[in-house]
């Protein structure tokens, strides 16, 4: 094989000594191969690095999209929470109106955010600020709701007590016919038979033994014989009213006993000075006899108007 050599001469500009290099062909081929391999290796590394960068960028984009989607969902939830909070606040306002008491919020009332043109992107900082605002408003609204619940219970209790007191007042006022379906045979008026005098009650005709009911709730203060009245019961209603029931055939209560309105207390008879079976029914107010007729079928309107 012919040994091929290549001569390279380097001649300086001023013509000084010439530099000569002898290169064999295999040396040149080796150098070129090394350069090619180096270039190929560099290109491979660059390609791998580029592919990794693309993959990293794609991963970051996907992660950013997931975060953005999560933020959007959280922001949507804050909008719903704000609407729910507003609904609770409106209910509190209605409760305030019903019970007539105002419980101020510790912070201004929140209003739903306008969503006519929502921003395309919502930052996490914005969502965090919104959540902090909602947390503060929620705490204040919860405190207001608890206070209103307590006040409402007090108002309901007071109302209930007021209703009970009113019912007690009504129960203690004569307002029913002691002998339902009876006929008035003796008026609250002057009369000449069977004696000449002012008749201070009503005579209610009924069959012998018909049950007699208490015209109002009260306490029996007398139950026994009382001269011309025969067997008689007196009930004190504790409000200035007393009711008398006379000419009874039999008594069903005793002095000191508490009776309710409509309770059977005795039975119609003709004891004492009576011309036949009937009930002498008398209503006293502050010790003065009044006409029982307006009290037979309810409380008179003027009495109702005077109730506290």
Q: Give 258-267 pLDDT, tens digit per residue.
A: 999 999 999 9
Q: Give 125-173 pLDDT, tens digit per residue.
A: 777 777 777 777 777 777 777 777 776 666 665 555 555 556 667 788 9
Closest CA to 188 of 78, 285, 49: 285
Strand pairing report for 218-225 and 278-285: unpaired
The answer as to whether 63 is a domain residue is yes
Give burial (CB, 10 Å; 0-12/13-18/19+) of 161: exposed
Domain boundary among 128, 143, 171: 171
305 or 167: which leads in pLDDT: 305
- pTM reported for the whole predicted model: 0.50
Domain that holds residue 284: 183-305
The answer as to whether 68 is a domain residue is yes
- CA dist 243 and 257 (Å) reads 15
Domain boundary among 35, 52, 72: 72
Q: Are residues 296 and 208 in the same domain?
A: yes
Number of domains in the chain: 3
Closest CA to 152 of 218, 199, 92: 92
- CA dist 250 and 209 (Å) reads 8
The answer as to whether 96 is a domain residue is yes
- CA dist 219 and 121 (Å) reads 80
The answer as to whether 243 is a domain residue is yes
DSSP character for 238?
S
Q: Are residues 47 and 152 in the same domain?
A: no
| pLDDT mean across residues, the chain | 80
Q: Quote the distance between the C-alpha of residue 280 and its chain's center.
A: 53
The answer as to whether 177 is a domain residue is no
Q: Are residues 104 and 154 in the same domain?
A: yes
Write the DSSP assignment of 142-156 as a string of letters: HHHHHHHHHHHHHHH
The answer as to whether 190 is a domain residue is yes
Q: Are residues 44 and 122 in the same domain?
A: no
The answer as to whether 77 is a domain residue is no
Average pLDDT for 100-127 = 58
Q: Are residues 40 and 132 in the same domain?
A: no
Write the DSSP assignment of 98-159 as a string of letters: HHT-----SSPPP-PPP-SS--S---HHHHHHHHHHHHHHHHHHHHHHHHHHHHHHHHHHHH
Average pLDDT for 4-14 = 68
């Amino acid at each position: 094989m012919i040994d091929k050599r290549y001569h390279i001469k380097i001649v300086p500009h001023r013509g000084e000594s010439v530099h000569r290099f002898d290169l064999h062909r295999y040396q040149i081929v080796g150098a070129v191969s090394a350069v090619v391999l180096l270039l190929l290796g560099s290109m491979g590394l660059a390609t791998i690095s580029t592919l990794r960068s693309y993959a990293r960028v794609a991963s970051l984009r996907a992660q950013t999209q997931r975060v953005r989607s999560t933020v959007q969902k959280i922001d949507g939830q804050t909008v719903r929470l704000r609407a729910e909070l507003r609904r609770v606040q409106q209910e509190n306002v209605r409760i305030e109106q019903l019970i007539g008491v105002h419980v101020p919020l510790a912070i201004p009332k929140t209003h739903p955010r306008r969503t006519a043109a929502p921003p395309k992107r919502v930052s996490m900082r914005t969502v965090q600020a919104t959540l902090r605002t909602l947390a503060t408003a929620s705490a204040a609204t919860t405190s207001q709701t608890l206070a209103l619940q307590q006040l409402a219970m007090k108002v309901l209790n007071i109302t209930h007590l007021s209703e009970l007191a009113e019912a007690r007042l009504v129960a203690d006022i004569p307002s029913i016919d002691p002998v339902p379906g009876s006929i008035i045979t003796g008026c609250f008026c002057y009369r000449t038979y069977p004696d000449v005098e002012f008749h201070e009650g009503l005579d209610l005709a009924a069959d012998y033994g018909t049950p007699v009911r208490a015209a109002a709730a009260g306490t029996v203060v007398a139950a026994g014989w009382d001269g011309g009245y025969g067997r008689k019961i007196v009930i004190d209603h504790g409000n200035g009213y007393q009711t008398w029931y006379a000419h009874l055939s039999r008594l069903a209560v005793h002095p000191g006993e508490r009776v309710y309105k409509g309770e059977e207390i005795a039975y119609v008879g003709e004891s004492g000075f009576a011309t036949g079976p009937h009930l002498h029914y008398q209503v006293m107010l502050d010790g003065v006899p009044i006409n029982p007729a307006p009290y037979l079928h309810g409380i008179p309107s003027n009495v109702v108007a005077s109730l506290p």
